[in-house]
Structure 1
Amino acid sequence: MKGLYYRASVNDAEPKFVIQETSLPATLGSHQVRVQVKACGLSPLDLKLIEDLGIQRDLIPVGREVAGVVLQVGNKVSFFQPDDEVVGILPLDSPCSGLCDTIDIDEHLLVQKPEKLSSVCVAGALRDGLCAYTALHTHVHMAAGHTLLVMDGASSFGLMCIQLACYHGVKVLTTSHTPQTHTFLEQLRPSVGVQDPLVARVIPVYKDSSDLVSVVLEETGGLGVDIVIDSGVRLQEESSEDMMLLPHKHDIISVLGVGGHWVTSHKNLQLDPPDCRLLFLKSASMTFLNHEVWTASSAQQGRYLHILKDIVEKMSVGVLRPQPEEAVPLYEATVAMETVQRQQKKKAVVQL
C-alpha cells in the first residue's frame, strides 16, 4: 500500500511530498487497532517541533487526523471491536501515514465515531476542535458570562472557538478579514434553540485595524474582554497586506480586562518590557497554544480522550458545525498537501 511522506529538503528548498510504498508489520501489537482509513485530514507540518522532539527520519509521515473502520484488534484491546467506526489523531512519531489504506494505531488514541457523523467532516475538523477545547477549557477555563475576542473568526479554528464559547454562554466578539467573511460571521446562528446571532460584534479589520481597541472597549463598557484568542500576531509594524490584518501584540494586551487571559498560537512571540508591565498592571496572563502536547505526552491521556469524545458528540448533534471541506481524491493528495504547507492556515481532506 502507499502513503504520503515529507522528504527532508536540502538547502531550504521547496518542501517535497512523495508517495511511498509501505507495509504493516505481520503481527498486531497487544494494545493496537488495525483501521481501514476512510478519510484523512491534511494540516501543515510543524517541522521545527518535529526537530525539537528529536524525531529524525528521512521520510516523515503526512496526514494524521483519520477516520475509519476497525478491521482487527490486539489481544489486550478493550475499547473496540472489529467493524467499529473510529476517529483519532496519529502521534507525531507514528511510522504510518494517515493516507495509507490501512494503519495500526494504539487504542488509547481513538474514540468511537457517531454513526450519523461523516468521516470527511470529522477528519477535517478534529484538529481545530481539539485546538478550541485546549484554548477555552484547558487554558482559560471559560465560564458563562465571560467575554471572548476571537481573531479571524471565519477561519476553521476561529469558527470552532465561536461555536464552543456560545454553547457555554460566553459573549463573543470577533474580527473579519474580508467583506465576505464579515457577512458570514454576522449571519451565524445556532442550529438549535434561540436563533440569536452567535457573535455579538464583528469587527472588520480589513478596513482599518487601528479600530480594534476602541471598538472592543466600547462594546465592553471600557472594561476589556476576559479572553483573547489570536490566529497570529504582529510583533512590529509590517508593510505586507496580510500582516496588517493581524493584531499588534500591544493592541491585544490593551483590550484585555483585569485578570484576563491571552491564548496565542504565535510560536516565537516576544514581549517588550512595556508589554509585560501592562500585563502585570492588569494581573493578566498569556498562554501558548500547542495542541500537539496531547499526543506528545501521555500525562493526561484520559482528559485527551474525553475531549475527543466530546468533540465528535457535539459535531454529531450540530453544536459544532465546521465549514465543510471539499474532499479531494487520493491522487490529488500530493498537490493538496503542498498547498496546505505553503499557505499554513489552509486545510484539506482526502477521501480514500
Structure 2
Amino acid sequence: MTTTYSSAAPTMLALHQTALGGPEVLRLTEVPRPVPGVGEILVAVHAAGLNPTDFKHRALSIFLPPPPLTLGWDVSGTVVETGPGVTLFQPGDEVFGMLPYPHGAGSHAEYVAGPARAFAAKPAEIDHVQAAALPLAALTAWQALVETAGLRAGQRVLIHAAAGGVGHLAVQIAKERGAHVTGTASAPKHDFLRELGADACVDYRVEDFAGTEERYDVVLDALGGETTTRSVDVLRPGGVLVSLLRGAEDTRAAAEKAGVRAVTLIVEHDQAGMRAIADLAAWGRLRAHVSGTFPLAEGARAHAQGETGRTTGKLVITVR
C-alpha cells in the first residue's frame, strides 16, 4: 500500500497497540489520519469486522512488523477523499471491502485508506454492520469453495467449524452453488446451521466425522491439526481439501497417495469477489450472523469475547 501519514494532517481515534499481548494492550489512541495515495480512497469507517486473525496478530504479529500498529481488515463506510488515479468511487459513496491481507491492516479506526479496488459498492439492502461482517470471512469462503475447489451443483462438501465466521458464510455459499452441505459444530448450533441450509450436521464433541462411510468432494478446514490430517481420508478420489491454516502442507504426501488435492489458502483482497458477495447480499442469499457489536472504545472487550472461541458468526466494531 502507498498510504502515507502527514504530521500536518488531522488526527483520528484508533484502536491502537504499542506492544504485543492480550486484549489489554489495545488502547483508544489519537493518531494521524491517513492520506490516500495513488489509487487509494480514504474511508470514514462506520463499522469494522473482527476476525480470529486480529486476535493472533495482536498477540504474535504473525505477518506484520512489530507494534505500534492498528489492526482490522474488514471495513464498511463512506468515501471522503480519493487519491490520484481513482475512477471507481467518489466522495459520498458507501463502500465495503477487505484491506490487503496481511499488510493493509488499519480499519479499527475512525478513518482508513486502502486501494480503491479492494472495495465494492455497499448494497443498499444491508446496513454497515452487516456489510462490515462480510468481507474477510466471505472472501475466504468464496475463494476456497468457488475459485480453489471449483464447487459445483450436486457435489458434497464438509465444512469444519461451520458455525464460525468463515464457516457459516461458507455454508450459504455452498448451498447457493447447489452443493450438499455437512457442517461440524457443537449440538446446540445445529439448528442454526440447518436454518442456513446445511443438509447434515456432525457434533464434533461426540461424533467422528471420519467414522462413517460418507465421502466428500470438498472439505473446508478452519481448524488445522489432526482435523486437517484426517480430512484427507473422507475425500473422494479427485477431491479437494482447502485448509485455512498451514496444516495442508503436512498432508500433501498422504493426499497425493489418496488421489486428492490438499492446499492452504490465504485470503486475498479481490474486487471481483467482493462484487459477487455484494450481489449475494443484495439478493438476500448471503447474510452474516452478527452475534455482538462493540463501540470502538470497547474494542479490547470485543477481542476478549472473540478469543473465547464460542462466537457464532461474527463480531463487529462500530465507529459511527
Scaled by the length of structure 2, the TM-score of the pair is 0.84
Q: Is 2:211 aligned against 1:204?
A: no
Conserved 8 A contact 1:135-1:289: yes
Which one-letter code corresponds to 1:213 in the other structure?
A
Check 1:180–1:52 CA distance in 2 against 1; reply closer, same or farther (3 A cut).
closer
Match for 2:194: what amino acid? E
Following the alignment from structure 2 to structure 1, what is the Cα–Cα distance between the partners of residues 95 and 310? 26
* Distance in 2, Cα, partners of 1:136 & 1:75: 35
Offset at residue 68 of structure 1 (A): 0.6
Aligned match of 2:272:
306
Determine the C-alpha separation between the residues in 1 that align with 2:173 and 2:59: 28
- Aligned: 1:290 with 2:256: no
Q: Which runs of 5+ in 2 are unaligned?
A: 1-11
1:111-126 pair list within 5 angstroms: 111-126=120-135
Aligned counterpart, 1:93: 103
Q: Is 1:267–2:246 an aligned residue pair?
A: yes
CA contact (8 A) 1:37 1:98 kept: yes
* Aligned counterpart for 1:81 among listed residues 79, 82, 90: 90
Aligned: 1:181 with 2:160: no
Give 1:164-175 correspondences, 5 Å limit: 164-175=173-184
CA distance in 2, matches of 1:203, 1:148: 13
Equivalent residue in structure 2 for 1:321, among 277, 282, 287: 287
Deviates more, 1:113-122 or 1:36-45: 36-45
> Which amino acid in structure 2 is aligned with residue 331 of structure 1?
A
- Rounded Cα–Cα distance in structure 2 between residues aligned with 1:276 and 1:143: 26
Supply the distance in 1 between the matched residues of 2:89 and 2:244 (Cα, whole angstroms). Answer: 34
The correspondence of residues 33-182 of structure 1 with structure 2, limited to 5 A, is 33-44=41-52, 45=54, 46-47=56-57, 53=63, 55-91=64-100, 92-94=102-104, 97-177=106-186, 179-182=187-190
CA contact (8 A) 2:225 2:247 kept: no
Deviations 1:78-106 (A, max 9, x none): 00111110112223334x73232222222
Could you tell me whether the CA contact under 8 Å between 1:30 and 1:74 is conserved in 2? yes
Shift of the alpha carbon at 1:321? 2.0
2:318 aligned residue: 351
- 1:330 Cα offset (Å): 2.2
Q: Secondary structure at the match of 1:36?
A: strand
Question: What secondary structure does 2:290 align onto?
Answer: coil
Could you list the per-position Cα deviations for residues 205-241 of structure 1 after superposition, in whole angstroms to 9, with x for gaps in the alignment? Answer: 22233xx2243x2xx4xxx211111221343xxxxxx
Aligned residues between the structures: 302
Higher-Rg member (1/2): 1
Change (3 A) 1:14 1:113: closer
Change (3 A) 1:56 1:199: closer
Indicate yes or no: 2:40 matched with 1:32: yes
Separation in structure 2 between the aligned mates of residue 156 and residue 328 of structure 1, nearest angstrom: 17
Q: Which residue of 2 aligns with 1:227?
A: 218
**TM-score, normalization: structure 1?**
0.77
Q: Deviations over 1:173-232 (max 9, x none)?
A: 22221x3212222344xxxxxxxxx222222222233xx2243x2xx4xxx211111221
* Structure 1 CA distance for aligned equivalents of residues 117 and 228 of structure 2: 40
Amino acid of the structure 1 residue aligned with 2:17: Y
SS at match of 2:210: helix
Gaps of 5+ in 1: 189-197, 236-246, 296-303
CA shift, 1:344, in A, is 5.9
How far does the alpha carbon of each residue in 1:269-305 deviate from its partner, in whole angstroms, 9 at most, with x for none?
A: 5647xx834x3343111011211xx24xxxxxxxx21
Could you tell me which amino acid in structure 1 is paired with residue 140 of structure 2?
C
1:148–1:172 contact (8 Å) kept in structure 2: yes
The two structures, once aligned, show a CA RMSD in angstroms of 2.6
- Partners of 1:259 and 1:75 in 2: how far apart? 47
